[in-house]
Amino acid sequence: KAGVTQTPRYLIKTRGQQVTLSCSPISGHRSVSWYQQTPGQGLQFLFEYFSETQRNKGNFPGRFSGRQFSNSRSEMNVSTLELGDSALYLCASSVLGAGTDTQYFGPGTRLTVL
Amino acid sequence: AQSVAQPEDQVNVAEGNPLTVKCTYSVSGNPYLFWYVQYPNRGLQFLLKYITGDNLVKGSYGFEAEFNKSQTSFHLKKPSALVSDSALYFCAVRDKNAGNMLTFGGGTRLMVKP
């Protein structure tokens, strides 16, 4: 099976712009979660989608949003970019998002905000 | 709230020697515990998980971890380190009542020297 794929791998934006990141989960996986990784804050949970519904949300401002499509692919959007949004954004998929499920991560999208 | 601590920012070990990467956790109920490894410019790769049962869990690439409920620890171990094991290691916990959200420790950089 192909792993989790994320596009694009690298992005450079300027403050105030918006950005959309894409994630394709492993075939058959219905849960997609997003995480932000920064040197200062480490790995932080953004949100989780299951069957096109946001099921869980982390402690991030409303500028961060996401959605999931019927084929389980997911996108996340960050509006009005700030310098502090520079990070590696990781997507993870799991079969059902149940407690015992393993989350498998994609390679990430590195976002740089200038 | 769930939390994870990795008390060592870096662990240095000589090739061929045993290695231990420490992790302690705090959850309100029974924990689901995970170890992931991250190589430069890559996403997280799943190593192993503890759900229930035997306290010694075996995973990928010869790694294993020991769950200790009384000490709330889940240390990662390997009998004989390889230079190629050098990477960033993350411990994560999921409270069964916290949905699919993983809470990560700050990470431990493992350096294996020839």
pLDDT of residue A12: 98
Enter the tokens of residue A72: 């389980």
Enter the tokens of residue B74: 């889940």
Dist. CA B35–CA A10, nearest whole Å = 26
pLDDT of residue B99: 74
Please give the distance of CA A56 from its chain centroid, rounded to a whole number.
Answer: 13
Minimum-distance CB partner of A107 among B34, B43, B98: B43
Dist. CA B64–CA B11, nearest whole Å = 17
Residue A10: Cβ-neighbour burial (10 angstroms; 0-12, 13-18, 19+): exposed
User: Is residue A105 predicted with pLDDT exceeding 90?
Assistant: yes
- The tens digit of pLDDT for each residue in A3-55 reads 999 999 999 999 999 999 999 999 999 999 999 999 999 999 999 999 999 99
Average of per-residue pLDDT values in chain B? 94
Q: Do A45 and B103 touch (CB under 8 A)?
A: yes
Q: Do A31 and B49 touch (CB under 8 A)?
A: no
- Show the CA angle centred on residue A87, arms to residues A110 and B6, nearest 5°: 115
